[in-house]
Copies of this chain bind each other. A is one copy, B any other.
Amino acid sequence: MIRAGIIGATGYAGAELVRLLLGHKEAEIVWYGSRSYVDRNYADIYQNMFRLVDDVCLDDNMEAMAEQVDVIFTATPQGLCASLVNEDILHKVKMIDLSADFRIKDVEVYEKWYGIEHKAPQFLEEAVYGLCEINREAVKKARLVANPGCYPTCSFLSVYPLVREGLIDPGTIIIDAKSGTSGAGRGAKVDNLFCEVNENIKAYGVAGHRHTPEIEEQLSLAAGEPVLINFTPHLVPMQRGILVTAYASLRKEVSYEEVKVVYDHYYKKEFFVRVLEKDVCPQTRWVEGSNFVDVNFKIDPRTKRIIMMGAMDNLVKGAAGQAVQNMNLLFGLDETEGLRAAPLFP
């Protein structure tokens, strides 16, 4: 039985980790970390867990935690994980960081986009970017996994095969993304009130969102050349779900079948990536509560562009689900353990 500790267990991503790990046959949570709610019953904060979780919240003491657990999940704002992790801890436990601290290899890029000093750059090289479908083997051997961001996961998986195969011009990629509100976290802000979010859609972080360099770094690796993109996130009046609509110019004329073959080549054996049938557009509803990413594409022969689409649950494949998937890899378990539940609809 894998003993798990969660730092940040009362945020939305942390709570989703709790939900998923409760249904995981090989793992148990032994530390519910939450600085804001120390000594409070976890089930008082997340009443859905009434009678399912009896534990109280503990402080975010990574040293003490490392003595009692096999794996630590940090579901906290950027900066915290980097400020706590050290060689001694990595010696004792596996670490899955859901924040951005170890996702970007270039410390200058990180510090520029996040506006904070990186406290543990010495682990950047070692850390594995935990996009399981791409870095599966590396994850298996890692001590420190950088769990990918929600937008980057959905964006990257939607366009990856065509970038990798050189079918599209990476310099023309434009990613227009739409997210439910849980991605904004559980902080009490006027902007996230029901009356402000409902009946509304808006772009935010235009030409400056922090997930941009993360997507670009991964795309650059896939393309074998530096890639700059436009990435525009939008806030949608729904709880969960990310939809990505990506545009790029085709490098040559291709048929539906030719592109389909490429997607299938990369994803046919992937349990969690579903390439939909022709002309079926991904919808966030069809993946809600699950670890699936649904992708598809449409060629526009008039403009010689291709539109690539992906839908995903931001809290599952975009955060806690992918973290569990990474945990499964780290501990040699079936990659789908605890993650096979069908999407909830309606």
A-side residues, CB < 8 A to B, are 12, 15, 19, 22-23, 46-52, 174, 176, 178, 180-182, 186, 188-190, 192-204, 206-207, 228-230, 232, 234, 236-241, 243, 245, 247, 274, 276, 280-290, 294, 298-300, 302-303, 305, 307, 309, 311, 340-346
In the complex this chain forms, how many copies of it are found?
A: 4
A to B CB contacts below 8 Å, 16 in the list: A15-B345, A50-B286, A51-B274, A178-B201, A181-B193, A182-B195, A188-B189, A195-B346, A198-B237, A199-B241, A201-B241, A201-B284, A202-B281, A202-B282, A206-B281, A207-B298
Say whether A237 contacts B238, CB under 8 Å.
Answer: yes
Say whether A303 contacts B198, CB under 8 Å.
Answer: no
Nearest CB of B to A250, in Å: 12
Say whether B240 contacts A346, CB under 8 Å.
Answer: yes
Say whether B201 contacts A344, CB under 8 Å.
Answer: no
Tell me, in angstroms, the Cα distance from A189 to B281 when the chains sit together.
Answer: 18
Other 19 A-B pairs with CB < 8 A, given A48-B343, A207-B302: A22-B342, A48-B286, A48-B342, A50-B286, A174-B247, A176-B176, A178-B178, A186-B195, A194-B194, A194-B239, A198-B198, A200-B284, A200-B285, A201-B236, A202-B311, A207-B307, A230-B305, A230-B307, A232-B245
Determine the chain B residues whose CB is within 8 A of the CB of A342 once the complex forms.
Answer: 19, 22-23, 48-49, 52
Say whether B186 contacts A190, CB under 8 Å.
Answer: yes
Q: Which of A15, A199, A204, A228 has the most CB of B within 10 A?
A: A199
Q: Which 8 A-B pairs have the closest CB atoms?
A: A48-B343, A195-B346, A207-B300, A194-B197, A200-B285, A202-B283, A176-B176, A188-B188
Say whether A284 contacts B189, CB under 8 Å.
Answer: no
Determine the chain B residues whose CB is within 8 A of the CB of A202 once the complex forms.
Answer: 243, 281-285, 311
Determine the chain B residues whose CB is within 8 A of the CB of A305 once the complex forms.
Answer: 174, 230
Nearest CB of B to A51, in Å: 6
Tell me, in angstroms, the Cα distance from A286 to B200 when the chains sit together.
Answer: 9
Say whether B203 contacts A243, CB under 8 Å.
Answer: yes
Say whether B48 contacts A206, CB under 8 Å.
Answer: no
Do A230 and B200 contact each other (CB < 8 Å), given the known contacts A193-B194, A239-B194, A344-B19? no
Do A182 and B234 contact each other (CB < 8 Å), given the known contacts A202-B283, A243-B201? no
Say whether A229 contacts B303, CB under 8 Å.
Answer: yes
Say whether B48 contacts A287, CB under 8 Å.
Answer: yes
The chain B residue sitting closest to A206, CB to CB, is: B298
Determine the chain B residues whose CB is within 8 A of the CB of A232 once the complex forms.
Answer: 176, 245, 307
The chain B residue sitting closest to A186, CB to CB, is: B190
Tell me, in angstroms, the Cα distance from A206 to B244 when the chains sit together.
Answer: 13
Tell me, in angstroms, the Cα distance from A300 to B207 when the chains sit together.
Answer: 6
Tell me, in angstroms, the Cα distance from A197 to B245 when the chains sit together.
Answer: 18
Tell me, in angstroms, the Cα distance from A75 to B206 when the chains sit together.
Answer: 36
Tell me, in angstroms, the Cα distance from A305 to B173 when the chains sit together.
Answer: 11
